[in-house]
Structure 1
């Protein structure tokens, strides 16, 4: 094993070589662990009379539970208020009040005066 002092005394090339060796050793260890895991999984599957391929290709037979009914698609709310100065600016009366609405109320315009008349 290397001590911190050993690493500090190594040159850049020595450190790069060490890093390369560590990466190779790590890749080898991962491959070895994967082989061992596959052997263990094959053995466990054989105990139940299956091959590993049969188990990995099995489709879940029970349907997944759903969280109740699907939500119905909502239609956008119709606008209830319109800006008297610019009729293209509307508000449904739900959620945050638009700046133009607040400005009109502060200026003394009654909310009913901004209400869109239904036909």
Structure 2
């Protein structure tokens, strides 16, 4: 297909038609894939839920135990840090002042 003879408006219209055709074909591919999956499940005598592994399963949510506080601000006990994750600003300030973490450890 020679595109060099087309105007900008014609190229834009062609581009829009291409986008629409791509969307249409993508939908067709999804439908075709779904039909194939269902056919496979039926051929082995399994329901689609069993095939996908969602039948009879419950999702287990793990809860994390709280971590003990390892550092407290010497003047304000409400400022505390477990030692995990980013250092709070008060810890950064403490260390910048030439102090060590050992001096504020619990």
TM (norm. structure 1) is 0.49
Partner Cα separation in structure 2 for residue 23 and residue 35 of structure 1: 19
* Bigger radius of gyration among the two: 1
Distance 1:19 1:42, change over 3 A: same
Distance 1:73 1:11, change over 3 A: same
User: What is the CA-CA distance between 1:51 and the residue it aligns to?
Assistant: 4.1
**Runs of 4 or more above 6 Å deviation:** none
Alignment-derived partner of residue 44 in structure 2: 48
Distance 1:78 1:57, change over 3 A: closer
Structure 2 residue runs of 5 or longer lacking an equivalent are: 76-80, 84-90
Partner Cα separation in structure 2 for residue 53 and residue 71 of structure 1: 34
Alignment-derived partner of residue 88 in structure 2: none
TM (norm. structure 2) is 0.53
Count of paired positions: 89
Tell me how large the CA RMSD over aligned residues is: 4.2
- Higher RCO, Cα 8 Å, sep 6+: 2
User: What is the CA-CA distance between 1:58 and the residue it aligns to?
Assistant: 3.1
From 34, 45, 61, the counterpart of 2:30: 34
Partner Cα separation in structure 2 for residue 20 and residue 49 of structure 1: 44
